[in-house]
Amino acid sequence: MLRFALLLTLVALFSGCASHTLTGGYSAEGKASYYGARHHGKKTASGEPFNQNALTAAHRTLPFGSRVRVTNLRNDKSVVVRINDRGPYARGRIIDLSKHAAEQLDMLREGVATVRVEQLE
């Protein structure tokens, strides 16, 4: 009986997590950074070339083509970007932005900012 209850709990937890990202309900706060110029023109995980002048970003799990609003929690500036790459690979970061997106958030000088990421439908 205890195993059955544990199994039901795990199924409920995993199904809640799966629908959370696929339905446009993803929201997280954490650190954002941005790609340097050395990545400009290189192929992203989605297959398209990285363009530092576009409003794009890398995220570990959101589907390619997803649009997310990224808000700099220090100054309340926000930008909408399209996910076209995987990452970030730096520990403690939740999203990597293109340089143009980082400019919109006024985070170029610091290089890293605390942000809120919200998936749009």
Given the candidates 2.130.10.10, 3.90.1150.10, 3.30.420.10, 2.40.40.10, the CATH classification of the domain at 26-117 is: 2.40.40.10
The reported pLDDT for the residue numbered 31 is: 98
Q: How far apart are CA 68 and CA 46, in angstroms?
A: 16
The reported pLDDT for the residue numbered 24 is: 60
Continuous H helices in 53-120: 99-104
pLDDT at 104 over 80: yes
pLDDT at 115 over 80: yes
User: Average pLDDT, whole number, for the chain?
Assistant: 85
Domain range annotation of the chain: 26-117
| C-beta of residue 53 within 8 angstroms of C-beta of residue 102 | no
Q: Is the model's pTM score more than 0.85?
A: no
Token pair recorded at residue 70: 């990224």
Instruction: Write out pLDDT tens, residues 15-68.
Output: 344 333 345 689 999 999 998 788 898 999 999 999 999 999 999 999 999 999
Token pair recorded at residue 39: 């990545």
Burial label for 78, CB within 10 Å (0-12, 13-18, 19+), is middle
The reported pLDDT for the residue numbered 84 is: 97
The reported pLDDT for the residue numbered 36 is: 76
Q: How far apart are CA 5 and CA 113, in angstroms?
A: 42
Nearest to 96 by CA among 25, 21, 33, 19: 33
Alpha-carbon distance values, 10 to 2, 14, 18, 22, 32 (Å):
12, 6, 12, 19, 31
Percent of the chain past pLDDT 70, that is, above it, reads 80
